[in-house]
Amino acid sequence: MPLEGSWNSGEIELIVVAQGGATDTPWFLCDGTLQVAGHEDQTVAITSGVDWQACPRPQDSMGNPTSFERHMAMDAPIGHGGWEGVSVVDGPSSPRDLVGSAESAQSPTVVVHVGARSSDADLATITIPQSLGSCKCVHHDALLGGGHGTTQVGTRPGDTVQIQFDLGRQISGWPLLRLRGGRGGVVDLRLSSRPDTSEHHIRYHCGDGRQEMAGLRLITARYVTMSLTGFDDEDTAIEALHMIERAVEETAVGQLQIDDQLDAAWLIGQASVHNSRQESYGSRLLPDRYDWLAGWVLQSNDLAHTSSPRIARQTLLGRAPIAPFEPGDFAYALAVLGYYQHAGDEATTDAALGVLARLWSQADHVLDRPTTRWGQAAAAALALAAIDATCQIGEYRQRTLELDAIRAKCLEALTACWDETTELYADDPKGDRFQQWTNGLVLLARGDKDGRAAQIEQSMRRPGVEPISTFTQAWVVAAGLGRAGRVLRMMDVISNHWLRRLSREGRTWRDNGAFDPSASAPGPDALWVRYLLGVRSLGPAWSIREVTPPLAVLPQAQARVPLCEGASLSLSWGPDIDEDAPDPEVSRADNLRPNPVRLNLGVDLEGETHLRLERGGRKRPTVSVNGEVVWRNEKIYPNPIVHLIAAEEDHVLLLLDRTGHFQIYLE
């Protein structure tokens, strides 16, 4: 809830009184910023620890911002005779169907190192310590999973005991520390995705007796480095160090069986999606700005595994972009469209349309303000994709937004960035910076409408073109190639950035990745559903779905795709080969004749299923459904099962308007 006011310079005390419902484990959190009037770039972050320490976010040695929290033990409550200057602030009531995360304590698995270093050493970097010397650290492995007892630590003046733990995998949550004694000592916990960096810093000032400290900010980390200073006069006993893992539990419905590699990658993707489900997708909490491009990718993958749209809805409502808008906020439209086509939730979609209306009203300003990440071509391409998505949503909801002018501006911006020499889109007009992901975004927005997909596909691999640098970028490039019909090249991207990492021992793509471990780490899950299985929604709540199996690219497959409300679509196909038949001498023409294909389709959701079958070189294919011929010699054979049949240049379209199981035979 917002709080407005003005304060004089100097020391300020801010008191918030919150009344909550009855609970056995009450808790309170205040997280936000104070802004200096007249200086938009000067803010002070507020995070409510026991003593309400407010600190700005420092930078590490590489210039990256790191989160910082300070906690202090209190000997006794502060006495007072009454509250003065209390302000009651009314805030919007929370929706009743808020989705919360489940929590579980995860212990470290390995002690990476233990030793002593100077207490004056820089905490922004992590270095391997020297031997303990005169310091004490007894039973340092007691804090590992399955360990027993406590870790006893004592220091000497000027020295710090440092222990680094490996959690075994990237975990999203917050640290929990339990200890006894050590009054006046300081415990610094530094958490990171790599053993040599510090991305999150929590400092705890110890008191008397048994104490417990839990972090406040959601953190994703694998390594915890614990530094203990000031335990010269009184040792401390560390009873527990856990990472309280948080994730929203959903039932995985989607299944994929193609080959060993793709099947294994699908399961890693499933675990990766599980780790990304918080109250919103990913670990970026307020006041951090939400990355809607990464969020849309994570949402797409989540809906490929589960029929539940709960997190998608909560993210759309709770993390909707606000002014001043940025180019990445255009991806909000893609997320809204994907959500509506999956869930058919009219109330949430109408609320999101209001956000989109505000976004488009300021789109000119957003596009005129390129940033380091968003050059002119990338911003214009994402805006074009968002315009198409917004128009599709408006058509569903019978609402019209005038976007022709902004569409023309985006097309003009893209044209200005096209470079005939390299046959690629530069980041900016007449620029010399070319990125794979920028051109992937253009393909995602335009497909092959401009007839340049083949050129871009080849040119992206030239020397001097900046390669993909995150999993999200890899996903976007692969999606662009898929939309442009370059499915084989899409599979090359998937193989280069995901499948080659299967030999690593990590449970998720974040654990296996070589990219920035603090960035989003999606798998290619939704791309397999869309382009390897050929399944997509064409109407609200899967009321119209299209199935276009890529028979020429993938000879056989078996899958289950979640729809909505617990429904699913089962699909399998493969060549119909008589293995017992003799192998007589046949002509070359007979050898080139495609094998018959047997396809099984099961649908348990009312609506229309558009099944598009590749001709695959068959000039006059014959199609049978449940043993009865429905198409032969380019003619329709009436059948009560098939509502409509239409001939296309490369496909035969069958429209099924009932639920059930269908056996299709193509020869």
Decide if 611 is inside a domain: yes
For residues 299 and 295, give the distance between their C-alpha atoms in angstroms, rounded to a whole number: 6
Decide if 160 is inside a domain: no
Q: Comparing C-alpha atoms, which of 300, 374, 365, 308 is closest to residue 337?
A: 300
Q: How many domains does the structure of the chain reveal?
A: 2
Looking at residue 601, its pLDDT comes to 98
Q: 459 and 563: one domain?
A: no
- Per-residue pLDDT tens for 319-342? 999 999 999 999 999 999 999 999
CA distances from 134 to 10, 131, 505, 555 (A): 43, 9, 38, 68
Q: H or E stretch including 46?
A: strand 43-47
Residues 6 or more apart whose Cβ sits within 8 Å of residue 174: 214, 215, 216, 217, 218, 219, 243, 244, 246
CB burial of residue 539 (10 Å; 0-12, 13-18, 19+): middle
Per-residue pLDDT for 514 more than 70?
no
Look at residue 638 and give its three-state secondary structure.
coil
Domain end, chosen from 446, 464, 488, is at: 488
Contact, 561 vs 513, CB < 8 A?
Answer: no
- Helix, strand, coil % (nearest 5) of the chain? 25, 25, 45
Q: H or E stretch including 438?
A: helix 436-446
Q: 569 and 641: one domain?
A: yes
Q: 482 and 559: one domain?
A: no
Residues 6 or more apart whose Cβ sits within 8 Å of residue 561: 254, 304, 529, 533, 535, 568, 569, 570, 571
Looking at residue 79, its pLDDT comes to 43
Decide if 481 is inside a domain: yes
Q: Which domain holds residue 621?
A: 539-579+586-666
- Per-residue pLDDT tens for 351-397? 999 999 999 999 999 999 877 789 999 999 999 999 999 999 999 99
Q: In the chain, what percentage of residues exceed pLDDT 90?
A: 65
Looking at residue 286, its pLDDT comes to 61
Decide if 457 is inside a domain: yes
Q: 558 and 467: one domain?
A: no
For residues 22 and 70, give the distance between their C-alpha atoms in angstroms, rounded to a whole number: 28
Per-residue pLDDT for 123 more than 70?
yes
Looking at residue 143, its pLDDT comes to 94
Residue 495 CB neighbour total at 10 angstroms: 14
Beta-sheet strands, E only, within 475-540:
535-537
Per-residue pLDDT for 90 more than 70?
no
User: Which band of pLDDT confidence, cut at 50, 70 and 90, is reported for residue 28?
Assistant: low
Looking at residue 332, its pLDDT comes to 98
Domain end, chosen from 472, 488, 504, is at: 488
Beta-sheet strands, E only, within 471-515:
none
User: Which band of pLDDT confidence, cut at 50, 70 and 90, is reported for residue 125?
Assistant: confident
Segment 552-557 mean pLDDT: 92
Alpha helix ranges (H) inside 310-435: 310-318, 331-343, 346-361, 363-367, 376-397, 404-417
- Per-residue pLDDT tens for 138-165? 999 999 987 788 999 999 999 999 999 9
Decide if 630 is inside a domain: yes
- Per-residue pLDDT tens for 603-647? 999 999 999 999 988 889 999 999 999 999 999 998 888 989 998
Q: Specify the higher pLDDT residue, 36 or 457.
A: 457
Per-residue pLDDT for 588 more than 80?
no
Residue 370: φ, ψ to 5°: -65, 150
Decide if 497 is inside a domain: no
Q: 560 and 463: one domain?
A: no
Segment 233-242 mean pLDDT: 95
User: Which band of pLDDT confidence, cut at 50, 70 and 90, is reported for residue 488?
Assistant: very high
| Strand 544-547 versus strand 608-614 pairing type | parallel
For residues 116 and 128, give the distance between their C-alpha atoms in angstroms, rounded to a whole number: 9
User: Which band of pLDDT confidence, cut at 50, 70 and 90, is reported for residue 303?
Assistant: very high
For residues 222 and 37, give the distance between their C-alpha atoms in angstroms, rounded to a whole number: 39
Q: 471 and 574: one domain?
A: no
Segment 528-555 mean pLDDT: 96
Least confident of 68-77, 138-147, 164-173: 68-77
Segment 172-201 mean pLDDT: 92
Give me the chain's average pLDDT, please.
Answer: 86
For residues 498 and 495, give the distance between their C-alpha atoms in angstroms, rounded to a whole number: 6
Per-residue pLDDT for 56 more than 50?
no
Per-residue pLDDT for 348 more than 90?
yes
Q: 557 and 651: one domain?
A: yes
Segment 414-426 mean pLDDT: 97
Looking at residue 583, its pLDDT comes to 53
User: What's the DSSP call for residue 204?
Assistant: E
Looking at residue 38, its pLDDT comes to 65
Look at residue 587 and give its three-state secondary structure.
coil
Q: 464 and 553: one domain?
A: no
Domain end, chosen from 454, 469, 488, is at: 488
Residue 115 CB neighbour total at 10 angstroms: 18
Which residue in the block uniquely carries the two structure tokens 């050898």? 591
Per-residue pLDDT for 44 more than 70?
no
Q: Comparing C-alpha atoms, which of 597, 642, 646, 638 is closest to residue 617?
A: 597
Segment 266-275 mean pLDDT: 94
Q: 467 and 543: one domain?
A: no
Decide if 222 is inside a domain: no
Looking at residue 614, its pLDDT comes to 93
For residues 616 and 71, give the distance between their C-alpha atoms in angstroms, rounded to a whole number: 67
Segment 90-96 mean pLDDT: 53
Residues 6 or more apart whose Cβ sits within 8 Å of residue 415: none
Q: Comparing C-alpha atoms, which of 22, 4, 218, 6 is closest to residue 91?
A: 4
Decide if 120 is inside a domain: no
Per-residue pLDDT for 562 more than 90?
yes
User: What's the DSSP call for residue 435?
Assistant: B
Segment 85-95 mean pLDDT: 53
